[in-house]
Chains A and B, each alone.
Chain A
Amino acid sequence: MSEQATSITRNRTVGLLSRLRESRVFQGLALISPANTYLFLFIVLPLLMIVVLSFLSRGAYGNVEFRFNPSNYARLLDPVYARILMYSLAVGFGTTVITILIGYPLAYFIARSPARQRSMLLFLILVPFWTNFVIRIYAWIMILRGGGLLDSLLQGLGITQEPLGILYTPTAVMIGMVYEFLPFMVLPLYTSLEKIENSLLEAAADLGAPPWRAFLRVTLPLSVPGMIAGTILVFIPAMGMFVLPDLMGGAKTLLIGNVIRNQFLTARDWPFGAAASMVLMIMTLVLTLFYTRKAGFSEELLV
């Protein structure tokens, strides 16, 4: 090959590379591919095994037999599972709504604090959650227990005479859930609220909008993405949560998380557990995508 030809090839290669580097498709792919590769390898691939598993059979001693068995899905049609699912959805929904109500003003407070204090305040929200999950629950149990710290306080102040009996009721579960999930709502809300320019609010004020109106028309709409992210981070894990409801609610009802866990850790029916998980996952995934699209979370491709 002549020297000239080599150089032409090289130039062509360089040209191609630089064009490739400037191509937005290539840039996008380069940025997304680490996450895609990683998640494909460690999430999608194992999940495919679960899909296969959900069509197999339970052996007599809890082993998995390679015998095609679609009845795992049929079993889920039993109305008891629909009831359990509804109850789980209610727990997730309640937790989400209350964390928004409590978390929004808190995130707003942090976002409007002096810039130098913000990361400190944010850290302070999270530090309690660096202790252990179970230990925090036990602290709440100590507070809410009949004759516990809350009862002692209220009786000491003469507000009540009898124990309130909150522990082991759905109220106790809600108190614990809201506490556990609050940071997952506050953090994304804060990240959206923090970027709202004060000039926008000032402009609204200059145009004669009272503060509440400025809030409703400017701040609230601009914080929607944070609320969506927070809803996803709270609703889905809260719906699947079972350790906290078991400890604080007395384990008297089952949540969908219990049902799935029981298949792997008591009934040893892996195929049925896999089927229940698949149904739950597909449902929540569809719901999440629908919700984010509907709320315009994805329609942000400005270019």
Chain B
Amino acid sequence: MSEKRLPLWLRVYGVAAYAYIYVPIIILMVFSFNTMKLNIRWEGFTFRWYGVLFNDQQVILATRNTLMIAVVSTIVATLVGTMAALALHRYRFPGYGASETMMYIPIVIPEVIMGISLLVLFVMLNFTLGLFTITLAHIAFNIPFVALVVRARLHGYDNSIDEAAMDLGADELTTFRRVTLPTIMPGVLSGAMLAFTLSLDDYVITYFTAGPGSTTLPLRVFSMVRFMVTPEVNALSTIWVLTVFLVLLAGQFAQNRRA
């Protein structure tokens, strides 16, 4: 869609929707400064939990693990998932129906089943449980999510545009890079972001495929809140969100400078 001034109601709605999404996050951030250990109601202001957080070796290790798994699984799943979406959109080949059906299985499979069956498989294959096995599992559940979003984007995409480019002498790689990719890019980007989000937050499948020393943030946080929900977990989320914001702002700033 091209740029046109948005109607007022739409702008108001947009602001309201973002407010809805951000209210819980802001509350969560505010309560990271709460003095009350059980964090039920506001009692007073402190930076204490940030000190606790920065000295929490387990959380630091878990953050590193989580990011590594999320980045690698997102990259691989985005590549494989996008290829699959292109294949399902443009081509007919033997086993089309089976391939398409297989794409939905990771979405319909209950998490516990996927976790336990992968655990049994990895044990049978004699893989050491750890970051590697968690990453393999995350790629598996991320591929279909990427493929689905990219397919939604491809839907109605006119393949004759590609053919026209090739008729004009562009080879396939050039056609893909200059014609296909820019068109499907919003889909690829959305798919990748979904995959990243899913990977960051996964608990059940990660739990079963993890091994000694490969604890991730969701595993760590789940176990922290089992005992009591201290503001330390809020502090963790706050830092996380603020970091992402800074990166976004820097990106936007750079983009504006270039423009």
Q: Chain B residues near A109: list those with CB within 8 A.
A: 6, 10-11, 13-14, 17
Does A25 interact with chain B (Cβ within 8 Å)? Answer: yes
Residues B152 and A130 in contact, CB atoms below 8 Å apart: no
User: Which residues does B use to contact A, with CB under 8 Å?
Assistant: 1-4, 6, 10-11, 13-14, 17-18, 20-25, 27-28, 31, 40, 79-81, 83-84, 86-96, 99-114, 116-118, 120-121, 136-137, 139-140, 143-145, 147-149, 151-160, 183, 186-187, 189-190, 193-194, 196-197, 200-201, 203, 217-218, 221-222, 225, 229, 233-234, 236-237, 240-241, 244-245, 248, 252, 255, 259
Contact for B102 among A40, A123, A124, A195, CB less than 8 A: A40
A283 to B80, CA, bound (A): 27
Contact assessment for A131 and B93 in the assembled complex, using a CB-CB cutoff below 8 Å = no
CA distance A32 to B92 in the complex (A): 11
Q: Report the nearest B residue to A265, measured CB to CB.
A: B112
Chain A residues touching B, range: 35 or more
- Nearest Cβ in chain A — how far from B31, in angstroms? 7
Interface stretch among A55-63, A158-166, A177-185? A177-185
Residues of B contacting A133 with CB < 8 Å? Answer: 201, 203, 218
Whether, in the assembled complex, A140 has its beta carbon less than 8 Å from a beta carbon of chain B, the answer is yes
Q: Contact: A285 with B241, CB < 8 Å?
A: no
| Residue contact B99 to A236, C-beta cutoff 8 Å | no
B114: chain A residues within 8 A (beta carbon): 43, 46
- Contact (A179, B86) CB under 8 Å given A105-B17, A228-B152: no
By a CB distance below 8 angstroms, the chain B residues around A274 are 113
Q: Please determine whether A260 and B110 come into contact, CB atoms closer than 8 angstroms.
A: yes
Is A74 engaged at the interface, CB distance under 8 Å to the other chain? no
Interface-side segment among A7-15, A65-73, A78-86, A294-302: A294-302
Does A5 belong to the interface (CB within 8 Å)?
no
**Considering the chains assembled together, what is the distance between the CA atoms of A110 and B11 in angstroms?**
10
CA–CA, A280 and B221, complex, Å: 30
Separation of A264 and B113 alpha carbons in the complex (Å): 9
| 10 cross-chain pairs, A with B, having the tightest CB-CB distances, nearest first | A28-B91, A46-B117, A31-B87, A225-B155, A35-B84, A28-B93, A32-B87, A131-B237, A229-B152, A139-B24
Asked if residues B152 and A226 are in contact (CB atoms below 8 Å), the reply is: yes
The interface residues of chain B lying within 8 Å CB-to-CB of A130 are 196-197, 200-201, 240-241, 244
B140 touches A188 (CB 8 A): no
Q: Which residues of B contact A43 (CB under 8 A)?
A: 102, 105-106, 109, 114, 140
Q: A134-B225, A139-B25, A225-B151 are in contact. Are A35 and B103 (CB under 8 A)?
A: yes
CB <8 Å contact, A28 and B237:
no
Q: Which residues of A, 198-238, contact B by the 8 Å Cβ criterion? A: 198, 222, 225-226, 228-230, 232-233, 236-237
Closest to A110 in B: B14
Knowing A128-B21, A232-B107, the reply to whether A32 touches B83 (Cβ < 8 A) is: yes
A140 to B25, CA, bound (A): 9
Instruction: Chain A residues near B11: list those with CB within 8 A.
Output: 109
On whether the beta carbons of B113 and A289 are closer than 8 Å, the reply is no
* A105 x B4 contact (CB < 8 A): no
Please indicate which of the listed interface residues A45, A102, A195, A288 has the most CB atoms of chain B within 10 Å of its own CB.
Answer: A195
Q: Residues of B contacting A105 with CB < 8 Å?
A: 10, 13, 17
Contact B28 A277 (CB under 8 A): no
Are B14 and A42 within 8 A (Cβ)? no
- Tell me the minimal C-beta distance from B66 to chain A in angstroms: 10
What is the bound-complex CA distance between A35 and B100, given in angstroms? Answer: 10
A111 at the interface (CB under 8 A from B): yes
User: Are B112 and A261 touching (Cβ within 8 A)?
Assistant: yes
Residues in B with CB closer than 8 Å to A229 are: 148-149, 151-152
User: In the complex the two chains form, is B10's CB within 8 Å of A281's CB?
Assistant: no
Q: Which residue of A lies closest to B242 (CB)?
A: A127
Contact present for B103 and A39 (CB under 8 Å) = yes
| Interchain CA distance A261-B228 in the complex, whole Å | 23
Sample of 14 further A-B pairs with CB below 8 A, known A35-B87, A39-B105: A29-B91, A32-B93, A34-B84, A38-B139, A43-B105, A47-B105, A108-B10, A110-B14, A132-B236, A133-B201, A179-B21, A236-B108, A298-B88, A301-B89
